Structure 1
Amino acid sequence: MRRPSPLPAPAKPRPPAPVPEIAPDAASGTPVLPFVAPSDRLPVTPDRELGMRDVWRASRARRRALRAEVRRFTVRQRRRRMLWLTVLIAFVVLVAGTVGAAYSPLFAVQRIEVVGTSQLDAAAVSDALSDQLGTPLPLVDESAVKAALVQFPLVESYTLEARPPNDLVVRIVERQPVGLIESGAGFTVVDAAGVALATTPDAPAGLPLFTVQGGARSDAFRAAGQVVRSLPEEVRSQVTAVTASTPDDVAFTFGSTDAQVIWGSAERSAEKAVRLQAMMVGSPPDRVSRYDVSSPDAVIVG
């Protein structure tokens, strides 16, 4: 049987720290305690030495505390940033959805409507544009539309209008014939720009015959065409012949009375038309042989 080991000796009690003497203040006689450093008051006696793991844990705890403080002081900024991010994402989704829907078959052309035609056949124009059927409205080929409408000489200008979800509207402005040019093939109907609209063997009624030096592509013809277009309908319907050798000597004749109108250039045509119409009321064409409105400030009736 083994003999038990002796018990360790009890630890000796640590002597109490000396109490500093209280010395009275020399001036007031009040007792003053002397300053004692914490190290002197509470001596540190660690049970074990600190290792790298303890240093790492302390560092991690410090970083966590710093992150918590940063989050606490930046919560408002983070909320504002999240709000703007949400708005931006919603806007991008809305734009992407709209663009995707616009270019999808949901907005493809299913009907072509032609408006503004009086001389042209609207159905024929619509058939010429039938290759655009099934094309999404934003992808309608304007060059193909132009190539199709060039086949119709009466088309002066046009505009395209998309009417979602499936309609394409073509607004056409037709060329207005202003007169006839006689040639070996017959009589050619032309507009104010000299564009040939049709050719017939006989002269169509209601259109004056143009006799212009240089033909339909000359400056004289363009001036004469502008003059005829500026006339009021009740005056233009009486014109049977138009002559011009230069852009400054346009003249025309009223066929029913052979009364001649000296117009001059195309400048101030609207004012000249008003003065001519007023003179024709007071002096009808069957009573005079000539109206000279080349200077609208001094109209001559003879």
Structure 2
Amino acid sequence: MRRFTRRSRRRRQVVAAAVATSLLLVGGVAVVTLSPLMALDTVQVIGTERLDAAEVAGSLDGHLGTPLALLDETGIRDDLAAFPLIRSYTTEVVPPHTLVVRVIERVPIAVVERGAVVELVDAAGVVVERVPERPEGIPLIAPASADVDSLAFESVAAVLTALPADLRARVDVITASTRDDVAFSMTGAGHRVVWGSAERSALKARVLAAAIETTDQSRAWEYDVSAPETLVVRRL
């Protein structure tokens, strides 16, 4: 009985010591993470080109002084929503005092003309920038296809996004009236391309590049890649 009692007492002591140690560790972590010793005092913004990184960081000043463990992700999201040029972002907490915000900006794929104003838009139709005149190497979306809420704009944007950068830079004016009749003219000799729908755009881009390479570029051609397995080339 005495041996059993001693063993039971030792087990209780071991358990009590383990519980006390765990409580001390948890309490210590809580004190450190929730104290001013681990409060936010620096916001670092990475990845901006058109946006002012200092302005983006300044929009988060309301979170300064907050313990890192208690940063409000919803509040940060709402603050950054004031910048429509931010397509997406990620955050990283860097103890003891820093929040790193990595930004991916919207990239213009084309321009649309709104009266005397030229708008650079991304694939979602968000205005990235307004400029007095069309920049060189940026396709123009024809007015008939410029409604960003239309299926025509959606198809045009899908085609421009799928085109390799070198081909996209040669697109002059692109248009569509439905999902399946995208067409565009090209700078230089004035080629016309009948694209069709945005489906299989990667294959169509390869077929178009090969067709351009094997035809006389001193003349204007119409390249019909709407059915990429049966390329049709016509003189204009």
Give your verdict on TM over 0.5.
yes
Residue among 48, 55, 60 paired with 1:124: 55
Secondary structure of 2:14's aligned partner: helix
1:209 corresponds, among 121, 140, 144, to 140
SS at match of 1:253: strand
User: Deviation of residue 185 (structure 1)?
Assistant: 4.7
Change (3 A) 1:85 1:243: same
Residue equivalent to 2:189: 257
Q: Is the 8 A contact 1:115 1:172 kept in 2?
A: yes
Deviation at 1:77, TM superposition (A): 4.3
Partner Cα distance (1:268, 1:74) in 2: 79
User: C-alpha deviations, 1:251-275, integer Å up to 9, x for none?
Assistant: 2211212111222222222222223
Q: Size of the alignment, in residue pairs? A: 233
**Larger mean Cα displacement after TM superposition, 103-112 or 167-176:** 103-112
Tell me the residue number matched to 2:43. Answer: 112
The amino acid that maps onto 1:144 is: G
Question: Which residue number corresponds to residue 107 of structure 2?
Answer: 176
Q: State which drifts further: 283-292 or 91-100.
A: 283-292
CA distance in 1, matches of 2:83, 2:141: 23
- Give the whole-Å Cα distance in 2 for the aligned partners of 1:225 and 1:284: 29
Is 1:267 aligned to residue 204 of structure 2? no
Q: Does 1:241 align with 2:168?
A: no
- The two structures have a TM-score, normalised by structure 1, of 0.70
1:286 to 1:116, Cα distance in 2 relative to 1, 3 A: farther
Give secondary structure in 2 for the equivalent of 1:118.
Answer: coil
What residue number does 1:159 align with? 90
Deviation at 1:131, TM superposition (A): 2.2
Would you say 1:198 and 2:129 are equivalent positions?
yes
Answer whether contact 1:259 1:286 (CA < 8 A) is retained: no
Task: Decide which of 197, 215, 218 is 1:283's aligned counterpart.
Answer: 215
* 1:75 counterpart = 2:12: no
| 2:204 maps to amino acid | K
Q: Per-residue CA shift, 1:54-102, capped at 9, x if unaligned?
A: xxxxxxxxxxxxxxx2x42243344334323322332232122212211
Q: CA deviation at 1:239?
A: 0.9
Greater alpha carbon shift after TM alignment, 168-177 vs 214-223: 214-223
Give me the whole-angstrom Cα distance separating, in 1, the residues matched to 2:44 and 2:145: 42
Larger radius of gyration: 1
Is the contact between residue 46 and residue 101 of structure 2 (CA under 8 Å) also seen in structure 1?
Answer: yes
**Per-residue displacement from partner, 1:138-175 (whole Å, max 9, x unpaired)?**
22233332333223221111111111111111111110
CA distance in 2, matches of 1:105, 1:117: 30
Task: Provide closer, same or farther for how the CA distance between residues 299 and 87 of structure 1 changes in structure 2, counting only shifts above 3 A.
Answer: farther
Structure 2 counterpart SS, 1:297? helix
The one-letter code matched in structure 2 to 1:143 is: T
Q: Is the 8 A contact 2:190 2:220 kept in 1?
A: no
- Between the aligned partners of 1:284 and 1:86, the Cα distance in structure 2 is 87
**TM-score, normalised relative to structure 2:** 0.88
